Amino acid sequence: MRDLITFDQKDYNPNGKVFKRPSVRAVIARHGDVLLIYSKKYDYYKFPGGGIEAGENHTEALLREVQEESGYRILPDSIREFGRVLRRQKDSYDENGIFEQENFYYFCDVEECAGEVALDDYEAEEGFTAVWIDPLTAMHHNRNVRAADCDHHMIERDSRVLDLVDLELRKRARAEHERATLRALGNPDYAEMLSFVEAQLSATDAENPGAKTDIAYSRFEHTKRVLGWAKRLYDGSDKKETLRYEDVMIATIFHDVGRAVAKSTNLPHAKAGVPITRDYLLSHGFDPERTEYICFLVGSHSDKHLMDDEKLDPNLLFLMEADLLDDMGALGIVMDCMITQTRNPLARFTDCLDHIMRYTHRMQQNNPMISNAGRQLWEEKTRIVNEFTAALQADVEL
């Protein structure tokens, strides 16, 4: 199990006798909230769980502790590791001893309804009550606990874990949203194509963390975002009959794959991506004529100067617009702030404002989109940028 946090108070005799008390803790999430145990007496929240008794394994202890404290029954097949928290401090029962507690945290699911609790004396005296609560709300609440005679080390431990749990739940929610978005694109093969492109670009993203104006910019994340913009453009298009949806989606997935080899081939990334795209499609049974058309889209997507040419292939325009929509709007503002701080770690708010006004705000005022759907999406991004910069300017300037 991976280590999450180590709490070492270093307030003990390092040669003292070590008393070990391994424990299990349950991380139970539902609709963004987590199941915690609230102490009415001391006004804090903790994860359900407790010490592992003699003869118990982790699963048995987890099932018992959660049901005793909360009344909920864990679904055993749902148990999966989250991480370990080590706590070392002076033993409260032996001033020369060391108290060492390994806390093993597990994600798990429970049955829909709770049954009866079975609190021991100290739990009943503290008024333990099971509650569902937002993890950050509980974390910030714990940071303000003032009771003098409660276990503040334990409260801080679970507060730190609550912070990590919130990040993990957000990560999982984004992953689920991404899976749902891929399903909505309509072709299960897109996921395999994206995995291939990710593998191609992984070295590029790792070796060139400052490839996009000095910040850690992932070309693969950019590819996924452009795919999302392509779907929005298609959904809003009033000329769907002129578009080859499947071909444009595939070209979007592969449009930046050439960045993996552009340096070694001395070719622009769009052109460098053509052989990679061709080899993949042909090896997966694509018709040669269709393959060459998709390769044309990939190899030409950087020719943005042709966007206002009335004779431009509508599918190529579609890909170009999707590519341009990324890194603008709210994302552009965040990028400007990241770039400002990277270039100057002591940057002030006014420095960020200046960078936004010089780059994203300025670029946003010139709408390069040709399609009606593209122009509407750009105008919405422009509105967001204008409103934000006006609000930021009012906040930071006298």
Instruction: Return the pLDDT at 149.
Output: 84
Instruction: Return the pLDDT at 137.
Output: 97
30, 19, 22: which is closest to 61 by C-alpha? 22
> In degrees to the nearest 10, what's the CA dihedral of 128, 130, 134, 139?
20
**pLDDT greater than 70 at residue 213:** no
Burial class for 184, CB neighbours closer than 10 Å (0-12, 13-18, 19+)? exposed
Greater confidence, 195 or 93? 195
Which of 48-52, 199-203, 255-259, 283-287 has the least mean pLDDT? Answer: 199-203
Q: Where residue 373 falls among pLDDT bands split at 50, 70, 90?
A: very high
- Give me the chain's average pLDDT, please: 93
Instruction: Return the pLDDT at 151.
Output: 84
* C-alpha to C-alpha distance for 1 and 105, rounded to whole angstroms: 9
Instruction: Return the pLDDT at 96.
Output: 85
Mean pLDDT value of segment 241-251: 95
Which of 124-128, 206-210, 253-257, 372-376 has the least mean pLDDT? Answer: 206-210
pLDDT in tens, 35-92: 999 999 999 999 999 999 999 999 999 999 999 999 999 999 999 999 999 989 888 8
Instruction: Return the pLDDT at 211.
Output: 47
Per cent of the chain over pLDDT 90 is: 80
Instruction: Return the pLDDT at 348.
Output: 95
pLDDT in tens, 319-361: 999 999 999 999 999 999 999 999 999 999 999 999 999 999 9
CB distance 10 to 40 below 8 Å:
no
CB distance 8 to 84 below 8 Å:
no
Burial class for 185, CB neighbours closer than 10 Å (0-12, 13-18, 19+)? buried
Q: Where residue 210 falls among pLDDT bands split at 50, 70, 90?
A: very low
List, in order, residues 6 or more apart from 334 with CB less than 8 Å away.
none
298, 170, 143, 162: which is closest to 226 by C-alpha? 298
- Tally of CB atoms within 10 A around 98: 20
Per cent of the chain over pLDDT 70 is: 97
Question: Considering Cα of 363, then 367, then 370, then 373, what sign does the dihedral take?
Answer: positive
pLDDT in tens, 153-200: 899 999 999 999 999 999 999 999 988 888 888 889 999 999 999 999
Q: Where residue 17 falls among pLDDT bands split at 50, 70, 90?
A: confident
Q: Which domains does the chain have, with CATH numbers?
A: 3-172 (3.90.79.10), 188-394 (1.10.3210.10)
- Tally of CB atoms within 10 A around 374: 25
**pLDDT greater than 80 at residue 205:** no
pTM of the predicted model as reported, rounded to 2 decimal places: 0.84
Instruction: Return the pLDDT at 208.
Output: 54
Instruction: Return the pLDDT at 212.
Output: 62
